[in-house]
Amino acid sequence: SGRRIVVTAGGTEEPIDAVRILANRSSGRQGIALAEAARDRGAEVILIAARVSVPLPEGVTIVRAMSVDALGAALNNALLAAPNGSATTPADALIATAAVSDFRVAGGPSAEKLRRDGEITLRLTPTPDLLAGVAEALGPRATRQTLLVGFSAEASATPRAREKLAKKDLDLIVANDVTAPGIGFESAENAAEIIGADDVVTRVGPAPKRVVADAILDRVAALLAARAS
């Protein structure tokens, strides 16, 4: 209660031409479940939502950000803005569940619809790692005011998650295997390992995404309480 929590949710999309996009299968369910759970615990919640396939929650501040650049700008405004900007007080935690596009079309999208006249080749270039950028801007984990929670959603997620946790200097990372049937993208359920910088691991699920959200918030709340003491 009384905490300020920023959550990102959904899948970003990058334009190919005037009508087509590069996208991913994220529904936004887990991020929205986290925003609702944090709201119900009394937090002030800012939900930065990319493309989602479920209704957005009431009782939270909604910021729409469809592309990687738009999501980065929204994070900057919510977490890094100067005192005369919107981030007048530091967020207590960022929970970054959004599935951010890893690539965009090199050189930018075509201004016109590409014609279907045979094969075409798309040259892709990596997008910025938004969470790594936030972590660098906020400073070392030991001294920054905002807890950073990342997600690692891929096959064999746990080893890769530990790499991301250390490389990005996060407080927590949530690992889930998106190739497992019945959980992950576009599913009402999830199963995850919540891994802390202290190497404490909480396993949850398969369970509804709200249950997973509450398990994540339990870890966030414990870290905030420990910091306050």
Residue 14: closest CA among 99, 119, 117: 99
26 within 8 A of 99, measured Cβ to Cβ: yes
Cα distance between the two ends of the chain: 16
pLDDT value for 83:
47
> Over the stretch 79-136, which tens digit does the pLDDT of each residue have?
976 444 555 568 999 999 999 999 999 999 999 999 988 898 999 999 999 999 999 9
Please state whether 47 falls in left (phi above 0), alpha (psi between -120 and 50) or beta. beta
Q: What pairing do the DSSP bridges indicate for beta strands 201-208 and 189-196? A: antiparallel
Which of 24, 76, 84, 190 is catalytic? The answer is 24
- Is 176 a known active-site residue? no
Q: For residue 204, is pLDDT > 70?
A: yes
Q: Which residue type, as a one-letter code, is found at position 228?
A: A
What's at 169, amino acid-wise? Answer: D
Give 4-101+124-228's CATH code, choosing from 3.40.1360.10, 3.30.505.10, 3.90.1150.10, 3.40.50.10300.
3.40.50.10300
